[in-house]
Structure 1
């Protein structure tokens, strides 16, 4: 499968199709789905349908979902509905939305609700929400409310949050808050909703407590974290807000670390914020280095920021170096290029700062007429496995109207495995009026020698 993915990413569609077929013969169901996509691009609709239906018969939510989509596009609604149901039963969550769409468009809401209720009573939380939504959209909100109340009374923990939502919509706020809280206590996501409703009804202390609970139970719930801190500050409890954020930071929440530092700065205590961050760094929290470096930069201590960034490389530090370079690019372009290059080397591709830094460095070099120097550096990065710069160079050259060179760089990007390389090359050709070649590239890909492939049949 890895070889097939690599061939597909490089635009070698025929080779990818052959490799996907071999993988499918070895029992890889996903290979059939991928092969269906390549055949569909090449215009072989019948072959594509055969592959995806074969994948669906092997089972697996993704294959069933894809098969349902193909059947629906072919106008075979009843068959598509059956496959979407099977996909939902296999764990494909979005299939419930597709089921709802079909039963609503074909006048089968009653059957859809009955099926969802049956699934819900077997313990499927997604089916329960889908049944409720179908009833509400069919102007049967009272029926939805009554059914959810019966499910909650029967001990179905999944019913509390959707029930709370309907109670809130009907103005029964106290009951809604209670149900949101019951949902949260049952492991659902009701804590933040309870907090929001408490806040809306003027119960600030309760809102703070439930926002804090939501943030502590889900470290990705940054919205609740910030709202808890904001309400504490608005209540005149700034020190308590900072102390709570600091405690969350010490528990490993990097967003809380940022928020605590920012609130100290807003309170006129920037030096205290930097001191605390430096202490966290000494305790082993390296992620604090990027935040400290940014605060140093904002306070005019750019040299210290850069030194700290070089000592503790991180994604946050890539941001600091990128910002420092952007400030220097007019006054000292050569130094800015060096900082941009360091920033791009720090980013592993999981954030945008490295790409922005790479674009900044190449842009300055190209603007100064050093195209070959930029190309040499990008070649070095490519050899180290970083292919992002190939597309950056292509875009910069395109702005200068150097179409022939742009095509070469997009070709190189495709050859290096940049998934957008082939599509961008096709878009370039389409833009200059070479429609036939662009369409052939999109449909049939590239041959091994990099030329546009002729029509092929697997």
Structure 2
């Protein structure tokens, strides 16, 4: 088998001309390990690590290494990283370190961080720290240095190196500092102080950042929640525009058994019905988790009435109606919202109602109504029709619907063919270089 790093990278990035990872998983779930084995030896990258992992679990590590060897020989970083991960899991960290070092010394831009973290996980944190130290100006490597510093006993040195960056004031973010600005430096320094048990200092550092720094505001809220600083979290949530602190507060309260307090935290974001759509979404999920589906519906109905053109809100509302076994109530609501939009219902919004129609009137009625839509014969509509049919156990019909639009939705079509046991057809379709005969 001959494989080329450029070709592997192209197919892996674009998920084209190959068996994608979700379908490799489907093959394994369906028991077709022999297919995964076969194609692992035919240049199918996503099959290779999956098959190697299975071989390792069967105490056949030498065979697993042979599977990965042709891919590893190309020097392709993704293969190196996967091989190192497996070797480390098998207790062969020395070999993993050797292959990542080779790529690091060859100058691969991602290899240094991976190699250093691998060293640190395997008792060589001091060496990792030394490798990373000259690269403190690069954000990802600075974050790695902060992480390995604890095991290396170098927290204070890491803090000093990061502190030097806190004086930077961006003139042209991110170009002036490659994204390693003052706020990020404060966040990294706070991570060190928290790890040292100096929580108050960590909090002060995060508070010292810009009031517009979303990342540090989120770090602060998460830190307060981790340490159970309820009063401070309440204060932070009261002025939180991103709702992240409110989520942390609600999560902490729910964890402590104070469900009513968690609900109140979301409702306080502007009123009794949580007008912020993201807070409303989280509130609805919270209510549903605790068996209060009707209240969850009320929350999302308010959102749908004010933001009826937002598909994610309508989709959430529709799923809630389904979960509550009330498709007959959901459809009139969606109809009313469509009327409020002057009856305009593009496919993205129209398709949201199909599972409700199917639940109330049956799959055939849902398919018939969908086909009557102006976009009902499009390739993207075909995907929704296939989902309805396959969900009703009518996978052959789902295949026929998608085949009419091939090569659109080819991954979904291949998945349904796999479900039917028609593996060769599915793989040929994915490769697109073998005539596909589907009957």
Please give the range of the TM-score, normalised by the shorter of the 2 chains. Answer: 0.5 to 0.7
Report what 1:202 is aligned to: 261
Residue of 90, 94, 107 corresponding to 2:138: 90
Report what 1:106 is aligned to: 152
Residue of 419, 424, 432 corresponding to 1:360: 419
1:294, distance to aligned residue in structure 2 (A): 1.5
* 1:315–1:347 CA contact under 8 A, matched in 2: no
* 2:233–2:245 CA contact under 8 A, matched in 1: no
Report what 2:232 is aligned to: 175
Pair 1:17–1:287, CA change in 2 (3 A)? same
Report what 1:298 is aligned to: 359
1:240, distance to aligned residue in structure 2 (A): 5.7
Separation (CA, whole Å) in 2 of partners of 1:384 and 1:209: 58
1:338 matched to 2:391? The reply is no
Residue of 254, 259, 262 corresponding to 2:316: 259
Separation (CA, whole Å) in 1 of partners of 2:262 and 2:119: 52
1:348, distance to aligned residue in structure 2 (A): 8.1
* Paired residue secondary structure (2:361): coil
Residue of 185, 193, 200 corresponding to 1:145: 200
Report what 2:432 is aligned to: 383
Within-5 A mapping of 1:365-444: 375=424, 379=428, 382-383=431-432
Greater RCO structure (CA 8 Å; 6+ sep): 1
Residue of 57, 61, 64 corresponding to 2:112: 64
Report what 2:15 is aligned to: none
Residue of 363, 369, 386 corresponding to 1:321: 386
* 2:379–2:402 CA contact under 8 A, matched in 1: no
Instruction: Report the count of equivalent residues.
Output: 345
1:272, distance to aligned residue in structure 2 (A): 0.6
1:49 matched to 2:101? The reply is yes
1:380, distance to aligned residue in structure 2 (A): 5.1
Q: For structure 2, list consecutive stretches of 5 or more residues without a partner in the other structure.
A: 13-17, 19-41, 45-67, 87-94, 169-180
* Paired residue secondary structure (1:269): helix
Pair 1:124–1:207, CA change in 2 (3 A)? same
* Paired residue secondary structure (2:140): coil
* Paired residue secondary structure (2:312): helix
Separation (CA, whole Å) in 1 of partners of 2:262 and 2:128: 48
Q: For structure 1, list consecutive stretches of 5 or more residues without a partner in the other structure.
A: 21-30, 330-335, 367-373, 390-458
1:111, distance to aligned residue in structure 2 (A): 2.4
Report what 2:302 is aligned to: 243
* 2:354–2:366 CA contact under 8 A, matched in 1: yes
* 1:340–1:357 CA contact under 8 A, matched in 2: yes
Pair 1:45–1:243, CA change in 2 (3 A)? closer
Pair 1:124–1:347, CA change in 2 (3 A)? farther
Separation (CA, whole Å) in 1 of partners of 2:297 and 2:118: 56
Pair 1:350–1:92, CA change in 2 (3 A)? farther
Separation (CA, whole Å) in 2 of partners of 1:46 and 1:234: 55
Separation (CA, whole Å) in 1 of partners of 2:83 and 2:426: 38
Separation (CA, whole Å) in 2 of partners of 1:234 and 1:47: 53
* Paired residue secondary structure (1:55): coil
Residue of 332, 335, 341 corresponding to 1:275: 335
Report what 1:192 is aligned to: 247
Separation (CA, whole Å) in 1 of partners of 2:122 and 2:234: 46
1:242, distance to aligned residue in structure 2 (A): 0.4
Report what 2:25 is aligned to: none
Residue of 307, 315, 326 corresponding to 2:368: 307
* Paired residue secondary structure (1:299): helix
Report what 1:135 is aligned to: 193
1:2, distance to aligned residue in structure 2 (A): 4.2
* 1:17–1:38 CA contact under 8 A, matched in 2: no
Pair 1:68–1:124, CA change in 2 (3 A)? farther
Report what 1:417 is aligned to: none
1:90, distance to aligned residue in structure 2 (A): 2.3
1:286, distance to aligned residue in structure 2 (A): 1.2
Separation (CA, whole Å) in 2 of partners of 1:287 and 1:214: 23
Residue of 38, 43, 51 corresponding to 1:11: 43
Larger radius of gyration between Structure 1 and Structure 2: 1
1:297, distance to aligned residue in structure 2 (A): 1.4
* Paired residue secondary structure (1:202): helix
1:99, distance to aligned residue in structure 2 (A): 3.0
* 2:203–2:220 CA contact under 8 A, matched in 1: yes
* Paired residue secondary structure (2:261): coil
Separation (CA, whole Å) in 2 of partners of 1:213 and 1:376: 50
